[in-house]
A and B are shown apart, each in its own frame.
Chain A
Amino acid sequence: MPINLSSYTAIETGLFVRIEVDYYKTSAGATPTSTVLRFSDYRGTVTIDGESYVGLGRLLNITPTVSELRGTTGSVTVTISGIPNTSIAEIVNSRMKGCPIKIYRVVFDPVTGTQLAITGNPAGRFFGIVSNYTLEEDYSVDERRSTNTIAMICTSNMEFLDNKVTGRKTNPSSMKQFYPSDVSFDRVPSLVGANFNFGAPQ
């Protein structure tokens, strides 16, 4: 849905990222929990739809997305810089791959810093899955400190659906994946190449 901004002389925008992590651990020995990570490249913490997003400012970078009339495949990379060493454990021990990610663009009034109450704001920019992530460490020997950067490669739902292979095959493991107690396909492997002397005298 397009946003009508014709009546505004100045606006501010920010990209807001929402990642649902089903398996989130703060340390190796911690109990996994389900959590939602929310952050933006806007200044300060902003509440949208009742959820607060942490402002990362220039530490967050999101590659541009392409809007097309027809649904097409695509991917974006969400990069967060300046991650302290103490937070690396959260990334390493959590399962980021496969998490649903949503990116919205929100328009603000630059004077008041409040979200414009107009139709279509916020606007969805990207809905997909975190398909991979990389951690980069920039270690400075002289300063004896390091800077960490995480880059999350996100695949759109369209591409995800294109790559998805589903369906049941006629073998026992495929059947038991969906119905563990169903033994209907258990004999299929043993029938491969089997001979039956149909009508032969005993």
Chain B
Amino acid sequence: MSWIDDIIDFGSTAIEWLGGNSIGGQLARTALTGLALNQITESINKDNEAANNTTQAVDPGVRLQVNPDTEYRIPLVYGEATLGGAVTDAVLTNGNLTMFYCLTICERTGNTNLGSGAQSTFQFKDIYWDDSRLLFQSDGITVSGFVDKSNSVCTDYNGKIKIWCFGGNSTTQVIPNNYANATSVNAYDVMPNWTANHAMSDLVFAIVRIDYDAAAGVRGLGNVKFKIENSMTQPGDVMYDYMTNTRYGSGIAPAEIYAS
């Protein structure tokens, strides 16, 4: 008899012992069943843990609701003022990861020097996001960070937000003070779905682009305020403009006013 036969005999004996009615066989069967159940339970738990880990990794994003007011009266700014803007358009693009907003700030005023001078112009002196002053990269468009109330600089927003400012219509881009950018763009080339007919006639406004980044806290439009300055500051110019303008003023005929 070979050694292989010895192994077969031992196996047969062990199976018979396990399948038998002896106390030892019954205990062995119970132990083996418990071991098998334990392995199955561990396997299921591992699968559940893996599934849980997968769910936590997916960011569901945030549900944003913009509520533009169709009865909002566009304000008028002479001199310097800090004010917010009314949302007049919003677009979600780039696989839900980029939001564009159009914020209408104020009306563009008329000509200086009692209506006979140059067209009044607007400067963007500062832009605030949730009461923190925004800092821009060298292009004057891309946000590099912000300065909070304690005068600390935070760069969490770096590259996540872009703001294009316009001082009269869609083709008059204005770079905020202290920045320079020789290349200007049209608003309708920035805002998705806009055409040349989106002229934003005689309006001071801004296009805001936000790239979603939950880790950096960029999850939507903050409380944006613009510190702007109108070149029309002389009291006589202001009075004359407000009295004669037919769009936002009293519409008094210039001939009725002794401007001299």
Contacts and interface: CB of A to CB of B under 8 A. Distances in A.
A170 B67 contact: no
A194 B219 CA distance: 17
Interface of A: 157, 161, 164, 166-171, 175, 178-179, 181-185, 187-189, 191-202
Interface stretch (B16-24, B81-89, B133-141, B145-153): B81-89
Nearest to B170: A184
Interface of B: 58-74, 76, 86-90, 92, 95-97, 99, 102, 104, 107, 170, 195, 197-203, 210, 212, 214, 219-220, 246-252
Contact of A201 (B60, B74, B92): B60
B58 A182 contact: no
Given A169-B70, A170-B86, A182-B198, A198 B220 contact: yes
Residue among B59, B72, B212, B219 with the highest chain A CB neighbour number at 10 A? B72
Contact of B64 (A167, A181, A195): A195
Given A170-B72, A184-B170, 5 more contacts: A169-B72, A195-B65, A197-B62, A199-B59, A201-B61
B70 A188 contact: yes
A161 B250 contact: yes
A188 B68 contact: yes
A187 B200 CA distance: 13
Given A184-B199, A196-B64, A166 B251 contact: yes
A198 B92 contact: yes
Contacts of A188: 68, 70, 88-89
A197 B200 CA distance: 27
Given A169-B71, A193-B65, A184 B198 contact: yes
